[in-house]
Chain A
Amino acid sequence: MRESEMIICRCEEVTYQELLDTAITYSCSARELKLRTRAGMGYCGGRTCRSIVDQVAKQVGSEQSKKNISLKYQAPIRPVNFVDLGGEGK
């Protein structure tokens, strides 16, 4: 399996190649890379791929993107069932 085919974000099936291409063509910050490729927006909330998406953006992105803040932990930090929200959960 070539490096480019490696899946970085399991939940959204975003490959390393996709991240690289997007980061290069749009020279985006970590947050923009996440918004463009959906890497880090999956069910696990970026647990698996957050740091890698950050790294790709930092290494590949422009000078300006180096100073950008890295991806934050979006609420809800754990998947929540509407049943529990609605109150009649256990």
Chain B
Amino acid sequence: MTLRVTDHPILGKLEKKKAVTFTFNDKQYTGYEDESLAAALLANEIRTLRHHEESGSSRGIYCNIGHCFECRVSINGKQGVRACLTPLKGNMIVESHGKLPTPVRDWRSSDE
């Protein structure tokens, strides 16, 4: 939990919360219960939450208020769940979406 801010100048000390473990892409991580999944992953220095379906470029937290869907991951098998809005629960299984096999846009050059 190296990146976690434990003593915020304004918000003060981080009050003690229950630590829970969860897996992200088959690796074990720990975070505090009911904190946002995106924050828990960030505290574990994971910024790339998924890869773009078309270009494979790595994507992560952008708006962090559930507006832009950049942080969508699949949680316990359910796809397209926004990590920044989901409270962390014990042994959650989180997987990131990756690049899709067939591109959508390859028709453009011939079509234009």
List the interface of chain A (C-beta within 8 A of B). 10-13, 38, 43-44, 47-48, 79, 81, 83
In the bound assembly, the distance between CA atoms of A77 and B52 in angstroms comes to 21
> What's the minimum C-beta distance from B80 to chain A, rounded to whole angstroms?
5
What would 16 more interface pairs be, CB under 8 Å, given A10-B62, A13-B54, A47-B67? A10-B59, A10-B68, A10-B70, A12-B54, A13-B52, A13-B55, A13-B57, A38-B105, A43-B69, A43-B80, A44-B69, A44-B70, A47-B69, A79-B69, A81-B79, A81-B80
A83: chain B residues within 8 A (beta carbon): 78
Q: Contacts of A79 on B, CB cut-off 8 Å?
A: 69, 80
From B57, which residue of chain A is reached at the shortest CB distance? A13
Residues of B within 8 A of A13 (CB): 52, 54-55, 57
Query: Which of A12, A47, A81 is the one whose CB lies under 8 Å from B78?
Result: A81
Chain B positions within 8 Å of A11 at CB level? 69
Q: With A and B bound together, what is the CA distance between A43 and B104 in angstroms?
A: 13
- Closest A-chain residue to B69, C-beta based? A44
CB pair B57–A43 under 8 Å, yes or no, is no
User: Which chain B residue has the least Cβ–Cβ distance from A11?
Assistant: B69
Docked CA distance A3–B57 (Å):
20
Q: What is the CA–CA distance of A44 and B53 in the complex, to the nearest angstrom?
A: 13
Q: Chain B residues near A47 (CB, 8 Å)?
A: 67-69
How far apart are the CA atoms of A11 and B71 in the complex, in Å? 12
Instruction: Digitize B42-70: 1 where CB-to-A-CB distance is under 8 Å, 0 elsewhere.
Output: 00000000001011010100100001111
Docked complex Cα distance between A48 and B79 (Å): 21
- Whether the pair B54, A43 counts as a contact (CB closer than 8 A) is no
Q: How far is the CA of A79 from the CA of B67 in the complex (A)?
A: 12
- The list of the 6 closest CB pairs from A to B, nearest first, reads A44-B69, A43-B69, A44-B68, A79-B80, A48-B68, A47-B67
- Distance of B107 from chain A, by nearest CB (Å): 11
Closest to B81 in A: A81
